Structure 1
Amino acid sequence: MNQPRTFAHVDTWVFDLDNTLYPHHVNLWQQVDVRITEFVSSWLQVTPAEARKLQKDYYLRFGTTMRGMMTLHGVSADDYLAYVHKIDHSPLQPNPALGEAIANLSGRKLILTNGSVDHVDAVLARLGLATHFDGVFDIIAAQFEPKPAAQTYQKFLADHAVDPTKAAMFEDLARNLTVPHQLGMTTVLVVPDGTKEVVREDWELEGRDAAHVDHVTDDLTGFLAGLSPL
């Protein structure tokens, strides 16, 4: 069995956004989830139950429901993103301890998300983390091809001049760490802390024991704080 990769060599820290930089139990993404169902139901003129089934099928098959709606039904990405990200961000609270832990990491800090820059900006503003990141690679920069597509990571690495063998990736979905690990990144899976109810698909919570997952944490702030002496 291979030893998990470490962090001493890391000079670029890459973070997913939703359910990674804030706790799963906030269930902010649940609001987006509801609006996706509404969008699919309205666009396809199907019942909410039918829309929900299609939404989850597209999410699993295409990486995002949006990609499925674009590919199969000609949806405009701009229209979709504007609708589904129109949510209440107030459940998010400032997290100065996480900000300090991120600030203490040596090197660049980047966000790689299947969401939009507008959504990133709103989330970081609520968390008080807006000044801690050096760049964002969103679904628009990815030309609407979401993680876990290999080309999305390759474009991210090229756009931000990242050496994957000197980078670490933090994600809440194990499948989104497969390609980063293949490219040489140290991978960290961020999981729910187990004390509060979370709204997730079963497959979203899998993969803790996968070979492409180097580390697992249910406390991102504590995990990063433990790395800061490096």
Structure 2
Amino acid sequence: MSADPALARFADIRAWVFDLDDTLYSSHTGLFRQVGDRIQLYLQQFLSITPEEAVEVRRDYYRRHGTTLRGLIVEHGIAPDAFLDFVHDIDHSPLDPDPELVAAIERLPGRRFILTNGSLSHAERILARIGFDKPFDDIFDIIRADFLPKPNPDTYARFLGQNGIDPATAVMFEDLPRNLEVPKSLGMATVLVVPRGTSDVPLEAWETSANAAHIDHLTDDLGAFLARLGPLG
């Protein structure tokens, strides 16, 4: 175990929970920006609106519903599978294998999970590209969540319940501060993954700095952070 006392709690962690997009890979790849562009295009086509209007609708749905998909389900009753297939139809070539991260996660004791607002098929494509060979005990996607995205408390409860996870021995890794508030309130340790070279907590314009109270650790290099933990278990 690392000699850093701030990391002492990780010796007791037995459930390692990771977000997917912009967490298990760097946001600098632009991969999730591709998803964002596809979301914009879907909104333009489905609602017959301009690109500028699509930006505003996406921002509004994100704030009020958690994701664009949830907003479209609630307000327009769309078929979610078609939406997910459309927005995840992206070019994965910018994403390179990350053997250091793969090795670091495979060394973790206990169980390892993905909790994502994306789809299972999207997650599987990302993980294969990074170089993972099924080291995760479960991939809990937006479909399993009944299309209720993080940070909805019911989604965390469903995920923890289905996997029999004790929050007191679990940690959540996320790139969005708002998605760490519920895990922290449940007793989980929290780690915010920020873009490389970043040292501040990134916040949306409508969020407040109070979100930082829900963040135990911040890192701009997930693989290096996990390696700092040293031998565990």
Identify whether the pair has TM-score above 0.5, normalized to the shorter chain. yes
Q: Give the corresponding residue for 1:144.
A: 147
What is the CA distance between 1:60 and its match in structure 2? 2.0
SS state of the match for residue 136, structure 1?
strand
Q: Give the corresponding residue for 1:27.
A: 30
What is the CA distance between 1:75 and its match in structure 2? 1.1
Partner Cα distance (1:62, 1:54) in 2: 11
What is the CA distance between 1:24 and its match in structure 2? 1.3
CA gap 1:203/1:161 in 2 versus in 1, 3 angstroms: farther
Q: Is the 8 A contact 2:19 2:174 kept in 1?
A: yes
Q: One-letter code of the match for 1:81?
A: L
Q: Is the 8 A contact 2:17 2:112 kept in 1?
A: yes
**Aligned equivalent of 2:131, options 128, 153, 162:** 128
CA gap 1:50/1:101 in 2 versus in 1, 3 angstroms: same
Partner Cα distance (1:221, 1:206) in 2: 28
SS state of the match for residue 224, structure 2?
helix
Q: Is the 8 A contact 1:14 1:170 kept in 2?
A: yes
Q: Is the 8 A contact 1:174 1:204 kept in 2?
A: no
**Aligned equivalent of 2:224, options 217, 222, 225:** 222
Greater displacement, 214-223 / 57-66: 57-66
RMSD: 2.1
CA gap 1:208/1:92 in 2 versus in 1, 3 angstroms: farther
Partner Cα distance (1:113, 1:38) in 2: 22
1:67 equivalent to 2:67? Answer no
SS state of the match for residue 99, structure 1?
helix
Greater displacement, 110-119 / 45-54: 45-54
Percentage of identical aligned residues: 52
Greater displacement, 204-213 / 74-83: 204-213
TM-score (norm 2): 0.91
Partner Cα distance (1:130, 1:205) in 2: 37
Gaps of 5+ in 2: 1-5
Q: Give the corresponding residue for 1:56.
A: 59
Partner Cα distance (1:151, 1:37) in 2: 27
Q: Give the corresponding residue for 1:101.
A: 104
What is the CA distance between 1:201 and its match in structure 2? 7.7
- Pairs within 5 Å for 1:1-230: 6-194=9-197, 202-203=204-205, 210-230=212-232
Q: One-letter code of the match for 1:82?
A: D
What is the CA distance between 1:208 and its match in structure 2? 9.2
Gaps of 5+ in 1: none
TM-score (norm 1): 0.92
Q: Is the 8 A contact 1:121 1:130 kept in 2?
A: no
Cα offsets for 1:173-195 (capped at 9, x unmatched): 01100000000100000001127
Partner Cα distance (2:210, 2:93) in 1: 30
Partner Cα distance (1:153, 1:110) in 2: 12
